[in-house]
Structure 1
């Protein structure tokens, strides 16, 4: 019975991480459809994400017994600060360079997660995970041949910071499981929003109803729910595995802007995305086979 519960939690973690990747991949779509200043876009997005998470905490009854020291604490503040930086850099990078370019850099997250997991948690890196990451890197290299030409230097630098921050937050979530993830994510949104409102140019109008609705959808899909699902799911899977699953959005991200905005990926982007997708699905298929084999033995 204990083993069955462990397997069930692992499957639940996989499902949550997969769903978060799908939601996360829609960021390029929202950035393209919202014609707004970057500071304003991130500020309002963060505000709506913060409010949605507070409502979630209230609905679940967490606010009645909430204790900042117990549910967040110094560890939560550190994690939230890292997440806030990553949240801002992601949108800013998408504004400055192509979706394919940002996704190319973001796909290196397994190396950040595995390295930090080994350094902080002394996690063992399996040969299968390392091979999958290497195959994924081959796909990234192919994609980079088309993305690097049009990618802006500042956008690529922001995408790199975002990737490092997201990889670090994965490891922190696993190392400090006592943190209240909705509260920590809400704090990250608040920190990001306050900073961006402070940096927002004077005189910018309040978004109209049309933009407000898109900003709410943007916040729910790519900031509050996606972060929450990923951080919760990554508690039940290895950091390398979680980051490999999350790479699905490097294929889906360019796909959405291709379908809705005719931002046609180059041939190298399609080929590199296919290679990475094979690496991810192959790894997941192997995990599923081993899990089923282990379950049959018990």
Structure 2
């Protein structure tokens, strides 16, 4: 296959991947379980999908710094995101998690001593302004806590990306598998502590989350990341926060507040515009 053909196939896989990620809010809202239990069983099922893919593709499971760190922070991302979905609106949870690129920028400057550009500082300030608008809606303690946890999910995701930025295929896929297993180790035992009613709807919802929303997309991501251009990956990643609240509104009737809606538009527009601009600039040390 030509390079152009490989890129087109990778872009298609990324579109499918981001679209499947976006259905999380629907099933998380439908499940009457504790968020840790949901995260645990969702990742347990997804781990089976990823492990089957690794066996089929003959990808080795490795335990090194990259795979272990990415696994830990992926697990923290999953646990924080599902918890945030239960405490605040799905729109708030997914958009606030989408702040990960800003955290990557900040951490890269602090840890790797990379220099800021003026545009970098502007996008951080604009994104922080957009995030602040989320806290003008729904001042109940639950929603406030949910918004804060969603921001933490963005931070955890940023650290995960940084640890796997230069990882080889074995380390990258091993990190994904370990992330699911760590989440399962934390969440599954919680089913014996919190009420976890089992019904046909609950079983179908957790299977959809584990296989369709998490397992298959991460396999697609692992395949697409080799050939998808950085600009395309950045833009296609915005599909998830755009579609997630739409699905939840259509199926659950949940709508974001007015200020959260404005803040979400600002956050997505600022980060997407920054990704386009950054991709066209020469790298600085």
TM-score (norm 1): 0.75
Give the direction of change, closer, same or farther, for the CA distance of 1:188–1:39 in structure 2 (3 Å limit): same
> Which consecutive unaligned segments of at least 5 residues does structure 2 have?
none
* Residues 1:106 and 2:103 are matched in the alignment: no
Worse-superposed segment, 216-225 or 119-128: 119-128
Structure 2 residue aligned with 1:271: 262
Give the direction of change, closer, same or farther, for the CA distance of 1:131–1:154 in structure 2 (3 Å limit): closer
Cα RMSD between the aligned structures?
3.8
Structure 2 residue aligned with 1:89: 80
Is this contact kept in 2: 1:104–1:144, CA < 8 A?
no
Structure 2 residue aligned with 1:44: 41
Secondary structure of the residue aligned to 1:265 is: coil
Secondary structure of the residue aligned to 1:175 is: coil
Structure 1 residue aligned with 2:154: 163
Give the direction of change, closer, same or farther, for the CA distance of 1:241–1:131 in structure 2 (3 Å limit): farther
Residue pairs, 1:230-249, within 5 angstroms: 233=225, 246-249=237-240
* Residues 1:251 and 2:252 are matched in the alignment: no
TM-score (norm 2): 0.77
> Which consecutive unaligned segments of at least 5 residues does structure 1 have?
292-298
Q: Post-superposition shift, 1:49?
A: 0.5
Q: Post-superposition shift, 1:138?
A: 3.8
Secondary structure of the residue aligned to 1:196 is: helix
Q: Post-superposition shift, 1:174?
A: 0.6
Residue pairs, 1:6-155, within 5 angstroms: 19-62=16-59, 66=60, 68=61, 71-123=62-114, 125=116, 127-128=118-119, 130-146=121-137, 148=139, 151-155=142-146
Is this contact kept in 2: 1:101–1:151, CA < 8 A?
no
Q: Post-superposition shift, 1:279?
A: 3.2
* Residues 1:199 and 2:186 are matched in the alignment: no
Question: Of Structure 1 and Structure 2, which has the larger fraction of its residues in helix?
Answer: 1
Is this contact kept in 2: 1:174–1:234, CA < 8 A?
no
Q: Post-superposition shift, 1:25?
A: 2.5
